[in-house]
Structure formats: structure tokens, C-alpha cells
């Protein structure tokens, strides 16, 4: 039968298993960055048709609706491709590819 741990030993094991402040702060920073990106994307989609009508370009109402539909489709197709790639490509290769594409 395994040895029963005392309360202080359990607390000590629990303290050692907690992630450090550095790891927690990186996770929080990454989450905030993703939330802000998502917020910008939602705002962009929400005001795309209105903005395309307000700028001095020859864009009519139906053209702005088509522009919004095309942009939404491009984001959806890009999301599907990214999901497919995440199942097929190793994470470190995705990071290398992202680094290369961002620096070209």
C-alpha cells in the first residue's frame, strides 16, 4: 500500500506543480494579444460595408456587400487551411514558416 502523504507534504507538492509567474504572465500576455486581434477583426467586419461606402471610391452598396462577403469567405477559407495545416505540419515547422513569411 502506498504511503499516505501528510497535509504539509501535499501542500509542498502542490506548490512545486504550480507554473511560475513567468509562465503565467506569458500565457496572459498571449491571451490578451489574441483577444485584441479578435476584437479588431470583429470591428473590421462590422464596419467594412459602412467604411467602403464612406470612402471616396466608386463603390456602390451592392459592391460593398460583395466586398464584405468576399472578405468573410477569405477569412473562413484561411481558417480552414490553417486548421488543416495544423493537423499535418509539426508545430516547430509552422513557427519557422511563420517567421520566414513575416520577414519576407
Q: What is the pTM of this model?
A: 0.50
Question: From CA 79, how far away is CA 73, in angstroms rounded?
Answer: 10
What torsion do the CA atoms of 16, 21, 25, 26 make, to the nearest 10 degrees? -60
Q: What is the pLDDT of residues 61-99, one digit of tens each?
A: 788 888 888 888 988 898 899 889 888 888 888 888 888
59 contacts 53 by C-beta, under 8 angstroms: yes
Q: Where are the domains of the chain?
A: 7-102
Specify the pLDDT at position 1: 67
Q: What is the pLDDT of residues 28-58, one digit of tens each?
A: 998 999 889 888 888 877 787 777 777 787 8
Question: From CA 26, how far away is CA 20, in angstroms rounded?
Answer: 10
- The single residue listed with the C-alpha cell 513567468 is 22
- 3-state class of 6 per DSSP? coil
Amino acid at each position: 500500500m502506498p504511503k499516505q502523504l501528510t497535509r504539509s507534504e501535499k501542500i509542498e507538492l502542490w506548490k512545486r506543480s504550480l507554473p511560475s509567474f513567468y509562465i503565467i504572465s506569458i500565457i496572459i500576455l498571449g491571451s490578451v494579444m489574441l483577444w485584441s486581434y479578435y476584437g479588431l477583426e470583429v470591428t473590421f467586419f462590422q464596419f467594412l460595408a459602412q467604411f467602403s461606402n464612406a470612402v471616396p471610391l466608386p463603390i456602390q452598396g451592392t459592391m460593398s456587400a460583395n466586398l464584405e462577403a468576399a472578405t468573410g469567405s477569405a477569412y473562413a477559407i484561411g481558417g480552414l487551411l490553417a486548421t488543416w495545416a495544423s493537423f499535418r505540419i509539426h508545430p516547430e515547422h509552422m513557427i519557422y514558416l511563420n517567421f520566414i513569411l513575416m520577414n519576407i
